[in-house]
Amino acid sequence: MNKITLVLADDELLFRQGLRAILSKHEDFEILFDSSDGADLVSQLREANTLPDIVIIDLKMPELNGVEATKIIIEEFPEVKIIALTSYFSKPFILNMFSIGAVAYLAKNSTPSLMVKTIQEVASKGFYYDDQVFKYIQEGLLGGFNNRPMSKFDKSFISKRELEVLELICRQYTTVEIGDSLFISPRTVEGHRNSLFLKTDSKNSAGLVVFALQNDIVKLDIPF
């Protein structure tokens, strides 16, 4: 099994070293490098021979903050997934990070086990929403966040199979689990996912969930 490759970015040295020590204990993880600010992070990514699967990034950093660094990473390295890490676990911060392409959001006082779970979920499913984050996203959609015009969803826009795949993505099924449920191959699942990205103008699977909720394709109280 391939290891999940990580990069850490946080300006607090003790916190960054502690996080690295915790994650290094897990044999499934490999930390490629860490950075003390957003500018250094972007520079190292541009020079890296191997890109990480996931970047765990603090939002408040000098030189270039985590929000601006995330925008650059999403633009230049769209295959890299972003987990936002911050002391500010509030609805505006969370909605803003998801709107620019982050796929998970963690408070700095989260438990190590939640950190590990979030990394594993993002690696296997493309994103991770816990109950509180999902609640904020629901409330944000009702308040019109992400600035997309609200319109009646045209079901002919997306095929029946794509809708089935989309619903299972919202339930946080893995690609393999979606394939098993629909009796199709993982490669076919990925084909439908890529088609959904194009049709919904979504950056990633997290964006697909937002689209599905906004257009009432899935129930807002859907259990994970």
User: Where along the chain do its domains lie?
Assistant: 4-140, 151-214
Please give the CATH number for the structural domain made up of 151-214.
1.10.10.10
The pLDDT score that the predictor gives to residue 143 is: 61
The pLDDT score that the predictor gives to residue 93 is: 77
Which residues make Cβ contacts (< 8 Å) with residue 121, sequence separation at least 6? Answer: 104, 127, 128, 172
The pLDDT score that the predictor gives to residue 70 is: 94
Per-block mean pLDDT, blocks of 10 residues, the chain (224 long): 92 93 95 95 96 95 90 94 86 81 90 94 91 78 54 67 91 92 94 88 84 73 48
The H helix count followed by the E strand count for the chain is: 10, 5
In sequence order, the β-bridge partners of residue 6 are: 31, 54
| DSSP assigned state of 200 | H
| DSSP assigned state of 107 | E
The pLDDT score that the predictor gives to residue 183 is: 95
- What pTM did the predictor assign? 0.77
The pLDDT score that the predictor gives to residue 57 is: 95
Domains 4-140 and 151-214 share a fold: no
How far apart (Å, rounded) are the C-alpha atoms in residues 175 and 157?
A: 22
CATH superfamily of 4-140: Response regulator (3.40.50.2300)
The pLDDT score that the predictor gives to residue 150 is: 43
Q: What are phi and psi of 32, to 5 degrees?
A: -75, -45
Q: Is residue 36 within 8 Å of residue 10, measured between CB atoms?
A: yes
- Cβ neighbours around 139 below 10 Å, total: 13
| DSSP assigned state of 158 | S
How far apart (Å, rounded) are the C-alpha atoms in residues 124 and 67?
A: 24
DSSP string, 2-67: PPEEEEEE-S-HHHHHHHHHHHHT-TTEEEEEEESSHHHHHHHHHH-SS--SEEEEES--SSS-HH
How far apart (Å, rounded) are the C-alpha atoms in residues 64 and 71?
A: 11
The pLDDT score that the predictor gives to residue 177 is: 94
How far apart (Å, rounded) are the C-alpha atoms in residues 157 and 3?
A: 38
Type of residue numbered 180: D
